[in-house]
């Protein structure tokens, strides 16, 4: 999966990913036009399919709103790479099937770098800088959720809803 | 190896003698909570995957609190989705306008949550109920849908940071000053993925309302949950209130903690968290050059009766500074009524404040006190991120009800 990087700093909170003034909107497509609006007003205009968000520590901190990973996914972002994630954002992303990667070398990645993320091999290739970074693979239980297509599909399989 | 208090509760719920940090567990939940923002998304997922019935209609709480009474047509539609689902599923704990309160003040007040419970809520401040000695944590809407369908939830067993509270608070300080001081010390990701376990001699001098406030903001340090051990104060609060039997757990003597931090309550001063991160904590008295346009006293953090009394003690017989809007929001209808009975609301109005029925509105920039460009607000809420209460060039300063009320009179931040 190859994409261009949108780089942000530490503590990117869910209020800037999707401001609460839009939380009266239920339609994800409409909601997604406001993605990252309060941190990067042009994000939605600039982002292309498979592009990648890269950030520092504690990405997605604050509110539990699932609207945050949902609007990122709706904008066809292929994955979010950060030095660490806030825990609710982390589990929300897994639950809805937005790939996220913890990578302590995220500092070495700059805005507009071109990355190739290989989830199978657990490698991020930075084509702009000609560097490679290893990433941790998920534990089996989480892999199962992801391979089911998210938590609800997993529930459907397990509990025959 | 000994287990922390949180691990003891999780071990019991997973029917295992022993669990350790990092284990992934799928456990039964006691209460599943959602609000008017997060529940519609959960209902959509629940139905999309063909689930017909919730696992137990007595164990789900749906509280309309963020944008009610509805601020516009879109939020009215969201409330309607919740209302229809609650009726269709015969949800016992459904709270609409007239009965609703801010969820994290309402659930303990009504005895829906108790000690030893496993509680998940599609709201990040669900960590509040740790004050009762419960394992309680915020999740997303898909988690809520999963738990409504199955009665279970998955967790990674957290490690813990032990916070030892010693001494006694000064009279001008409250639980808010304690938790802001801790967040200032450890940072907004200082307890990321961990439990914050509050212990020590100082705990016995903290009221339930102080403990709710402290656990409420555990998330602002990145924590999975905050928790106090059950004691006489918890017992007194739960007696004649809880609807299910409490379970009492204690951390093992030899429990292992990632880190121990010591806080001397005598040294705590009134503090304010400055824009745009809760960790930017300064002493209130150092901020007298910060003029304010608005004051908000309320929220799931500080909208309880003690908070109202604390603001009342400051505001009675005084006047809010000309040019400052002071918005006070008791967190539940019971607190609201109690404030009327005690003459508190009359004094608020005499002082020039406006008093609203319960809502989360201004805290997250929804309505009922949105800030214009360049405006500043001192607020007893929990987050001061960019644009949290309105325009991206507005500013939010977080403080206790007492500090907020004093600042309302002064027109600038003061202790």
pLDDT of residue A34: 97
Please give the share of chain A, as a percent, with pLDDT higher than 90: 80
Selected for mutation to probe chain A from B38, B72, B137, B189 (highest A CB count within 10 Å) is B189
Residue in chain A closest to B22 (alpha carbons) equals A139
Please determine, for residue B330, whether its predicted confidence score (pLDDT) is greater than 70.
Answer: yes
Give residue A122's domain range.
Answer: 2-159
CATH of the domain at A67: 3.20.19.10
Residue in chain B closest to A158 (alpha carbons) equals B150
Convert the pLDDT of each residue in A84-120 to its tens digit: 999 999 999 999 989 999 999 999 999 999 999 998 8
| DSSP codes joined into one string, B282-314 | EEGGGGTT-B-SEEEEEHHHH-SHHHHHHHHHH
Q: Decide: B374 and B394 in contact? Cβ < 8 Å.
A: yes
Q: Judge residue A84's burial from the number of C-beta atoms within 10 Å of its C-beta, 0-12 exposed, 13-18 middle, 19 or more buried.
A: buried
- Residue A1's pLDDT band, with cuts at 50, 70 and 90, is confident
- Residue B224's pLDDT band, with cuts at 50, 70 and 90, is very high
pLDDT of residue A141: 85
Host H or E run for residue B259:
strand B259-264
B279 vs chain A: nearest CA distance in angstroms? 11
Can you tell me the mean pLDDT for B63-74? 97
Nearest to A86 among B50, B121, B222 (CB): B222
Give the E-state strand segments of B36-149 in sequence order.
Answer: 60-63, 93-95, 118-121, 135-138
Q: Chain A partners of B71 at a C-beta cutoff of 8 Å?
A: 24
Q: Decide: B59 and B30 in contact? Cβ < 8 Å.
A: yes
All structural domains of chain B, each given as residue ranges with its CATH number in brackets, are: 5-263 (3.30.499.10), 271-410 (3.30.499.10)
Q: Chain A partners of B48 at a C-beta cutoff of 8 Å?
A: 152
- Is A86–B66 a contact, with Cβ atoms under 8 angstroms apart? no
The C-alpha atoms of residue B395 and residue B275 are separated, in whole angstroms, by 6
A20 vs chain B: nearest CA distance in angstroms? 6
Domain count for chain A? 1
pLDDT of residue A144: 87
- Output the six-digit token pair for A41: 């007003």
Nearest to A25 among B74, B145, B388 (CB): B74
Q: Chain A partners of B126 at a C-beta cutoff of 8 Å?
A: 64
pLDDT of residue A147: 80
Residue in chain A closest to B218 (alpha carbons) equals A62
Task: Classify the complex by whether its ipTM is higher than 0.90, answering yes or no.
Answer: yes
CB of B55 less than 8 A from some CB of A: no
Strand, coil or helix: what is B121? strand
- Residue A121's pLDDT band, with cuts at 50, 70 and 90, is confident
Which residues does residue A112 pair with via DSSP β-bridges, in sequence order?
none
- Residue A160's pLDDT band, with cuts at 50, 70 and 90, is low
pLDDT of residue A161: 47
């Amino acid at each position: 999966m190859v994409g261009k990087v949108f780089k942000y700093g530490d503590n990117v909170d869910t209020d800037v990913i999707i401001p609460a003034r839009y939380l009266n909107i239920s339609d994800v497509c409409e909601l997604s036009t406001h993605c990252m609006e309060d941190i990067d007003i042009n994000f939605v205009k600039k982002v292309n399919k498979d592009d990648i968000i890269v950030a520092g520590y504690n990405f997605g901190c604050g509110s539990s709103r699932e609207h945050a990973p949902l609007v990122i996914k709706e904008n066809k972002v292929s994955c979010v790479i950060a030095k660490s994630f806030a825990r609710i954002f982390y589990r929300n992303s897994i639950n809805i099937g937005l790939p996220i990667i913890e990578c302590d070398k995220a500092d070495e990645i700059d805005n507009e770098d071109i990355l190739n993320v290989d989830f199978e091999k657990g490698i991020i290739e930075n084509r702009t800088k000609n560097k490679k970074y290893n990433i941790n693979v998920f534990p089996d239980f989480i892999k199962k959720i992801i391979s089911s297509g998210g938590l609800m599909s997993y529930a459907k399989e397990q509990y025959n809803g | 190896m000994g287990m922390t208090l949180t691990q003891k509760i999780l071990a019991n719920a997973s029917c295992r003698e022993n669990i350790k940090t990092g284990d992934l567990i799928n456990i039964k939940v006691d209460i599943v909570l959602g609000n008017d923002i997060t529940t519609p998304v959960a209902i959509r997922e629940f139905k999309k995957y063909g689930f017909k019935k919730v696992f137990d209609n007595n164990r789900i709480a749906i509280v309309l609190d963020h944008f009610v009474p509805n601020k516009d047509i879109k939020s009215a539609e969201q409330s309607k989705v919740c209302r229809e689902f609650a009726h269709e599923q015969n949800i016992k704990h459904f709270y609409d306008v007239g009965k609703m309160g801010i969820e994290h003040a309402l659930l303990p007040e009504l005895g829906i949550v108790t000690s030893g419970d496993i509680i998940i809520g599609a709201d990040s401040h669900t960590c509040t109920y740790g004050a009762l000695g419960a394992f309680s944590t915020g999740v997303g809407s898909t988690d809520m849908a999963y738990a409504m369908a199955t009665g279970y939830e998955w967790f990674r067993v957290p490690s813990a940071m032990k916070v030892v509270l010693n001494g006694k608070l000064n009279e001008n300080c409250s639980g808010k000053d304690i938790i802001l001081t801790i967040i200032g010390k450890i940072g907004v990701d200082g307890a990321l993925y961990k439990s914050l376990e509050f212990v020590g001699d100082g705990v016995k001098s903290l009221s339930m309302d102080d403990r709710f406030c402290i656990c409420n903001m555990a998330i602002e340090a990145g924590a999975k949950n905050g928790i106090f051990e059950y004691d006489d104060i918890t017992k007194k609060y739960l007696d004649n209130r809880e609807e299910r039997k409490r379970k009492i757990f204690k951390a093992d003597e030899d429990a292992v903690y990632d880190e121990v931090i010591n806080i001397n309550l005598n040294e705590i001063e009134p503090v304010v968290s400055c824009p745009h991160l809760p960790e930017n904590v300064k002493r209130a008295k150092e901020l007298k050059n910060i003029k304010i346009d608005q004051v908000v006293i309320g929220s799931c953090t500080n909208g309880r009766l003690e908070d109202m009394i604390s603001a009342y003690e400051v505001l009675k017989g005084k006047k809010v500074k000309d040019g400052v809007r002071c918005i006070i929001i008791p967190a539940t209808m019971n607190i609201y009524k109690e404030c009327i009975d005690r003459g508190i609301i009359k004094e608020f109005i005499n002082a020039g404040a406006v008093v609203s029925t319960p809502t989360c509105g201004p805290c997250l920039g929804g309505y009922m006190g949105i800030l214009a460009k360049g405006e500043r607000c001192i607020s007893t809420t929990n987050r001061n991120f960019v644009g949290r209460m309105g325009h991206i060039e507005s500013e939010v300063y977080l403080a206790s009800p007492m500090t907020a009320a004093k600042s309302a009179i002064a027109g600038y931040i003061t202790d």
